[in-house]
Structures are given as C-alpha cells and as structure tokens.
Amino acid sequence: MSLGSRFLVRHSATIHVLNNAEAWDDRLRLTWREDLANALTDGGVLAVWGEEAEHAVWMLFAEMIRNTLEHGSGSGIFITTNHNTAEVFIQDEEFGFEQLRSQSRPGGGAKSLEAFAHDLGERFEVNAEVHDGGIYIRVCARAYASPFDPCSVQLEHEELNDAQLDELEGCSTVHVYAPERLMLSDGWVVPNAVQEVFKLGARVVVHHRRVQGALVQDEVRRQFQDKMDLVAFAEIE
C-alpha cells in the first residue's frame, strides 16, 4: 500500500483473548504494544493516514489497553480497520470510556484524548460505545469520505430508499451529504436521513455547505437533542 491510497485495508487482529481462569501474563505485558502497532500497520493506518496520525491512534488505543490491564478486568482486545475507520474493542465491564473521561485527576488516557482532539480534531473524530460486554473506540477520518465512498450517501430531495440503506448496513459511521441546494421547505431532508441512519445503529457525520449551516444544523439539533453525541457536522469546502 502506498501513501497515495485513500482507504484503510479491511483487517482484523486479535491481540489477546483470555478465558476466565487466565490472567494477564508477563509476556502480554511486554508484547501488546508491538502487537497493537503491527495491527495498525497491517490495516494501512501508517501508509494512508501518515506517521503523525498513526502515532496518535496508537497512543489513544494504547492508553485504553493499559487502563484495562491496570484498572479493569479485560478478557480480550481486538483491533479492526476498514475503509476510513480504525477501531479497538476491549472486553471489559469495569473500566470504560466514560470513567476515563470523568476522572478528577486525569492520567495518560484522558490526556491522550485531549491531545488527539487538539492536534487532529479537524481530520478525525473519535467516538465510543459500550455494548457486547465491552467498549468500542473508533477513530474515523473525516477527510477521506466523499459522497461516492462506502458508508457515505449523497442526499437528493427524497427519502433514502431500501437499496441505499442496504449499502450502509454494517457501517459504524455514516457520512450524509446534504443536497447541493436546499430551501427552507427542504428542512426535513437531512433530519429524515439522520433518523434512518440511527435505525442502522450508526453514528452520523452531516456534510453541508457553509451557507446551509444554519438550516441543516438547527433542524438536526432541534429534532435530535438527546442524540447529539452521535452526530457531527463538517463543512464542504
């Protein structure tokens, strides 16, 4: 893979899985850092996103893994890359994302989140969800999405059809592109699409032109006040 590639490789790696009788052994404590780096490299993160972003993703994931090793009871660590997303899934019901963010005296994990948002927030978004007995943390590249990419959809002045929704099935984050031209009476178009994406269990990044910002963002925020942690906005240049 070369730096000219735009998308990550569809790749999955298991760093370690424990059964109930096992504990984190000395070998794992010495090797998981390298295992994580290899998984990200094999998925194309270094080649596609570059050295700065690869290191930031490694550091973010590494801090979460270290936290579960030291403070939780993790039973498995899994790394997945696909299209424009790198993800770590940690089977741990004791120490998760919210505990990390809400620590009164934040350590390396919370600081790595702040650093990532400060340094790379314009290019990437970070989101997390808890289910299946663990926590998923995903880093999604904003810059590598277009209306023609997988996990993206260009809206017209009509509802999303079944064929479009089928293509989005399985996407953890869906990029929704507002129609090129919107009038006030079209205010329903983007929120309707956002609602359909929520039904798929995905997060949403809504792309719009600067002149559409007030119409698009106000309507989405009005209709989904309790779900805005699942929505991000991006201006189309």
Mean pLDDT of 14-31: 61
The number of domains in the chain is 2
Mean pLDDT of 164-174: 85
Is 134 within the bounds of a domain? yes
Structure pTM? Answer: 0.57
pLDDT at 1: 39
Structure tokens at 57: 């993703």
Q: Which single residue is written with the structure tokens 């592109």?
A: 177
As beta bridge partners, residue 136 has 89, 129
pLDDT at 213: 87
Domain that holds residue 168: 152-235
* Nearest-5° Cα angle at 142, 138 to 41: 55
Q: Within this chain, do residues 14 and 64 fall inside the same structural domain, yes or no?
A: yes
Is 1 within the bounds of a domain? no
Q: Within this chain, do residues 94 and 167 fall inside the same structural domain, yes or no?
A: no
Domain end among 78, 109, 141? 141
Q: What is the DSSP string of 129-167?
A: EEETTEEEEEEEESTT--TTSTTEEE--SSPPPHHHHHH
Domain end among 141, 170, 203? 141
As beta bridge partners, residue 80 has 12, 87
Q: Within this chain, do residues 19 and 59 fall inside the same structural domain, yes or no?
A: yes
pLDDT tens string 69-122: 776 666 788 999 887 889 998 887 655 555 555 554 445 556 767 777 777 877
Q: Within this chain, do residues 18 and 90 fall inside the same structural domain, yes or no?
A: yes
Q: Within this chain, do residues 120 and 32 fall inside the same structural domain, yes or no?
A: yes
Higher pLDDT, 181 or 15: 181
Is 147 within the bounds of a domain? no
pLDDT tens string 182-233: 888 888 999 999 999 999 988 888 988 889 988 999 999 999 999 988 888 8
Domain end among 108, 141, 174? 141
CB 182 within 8 A of CB 207: no
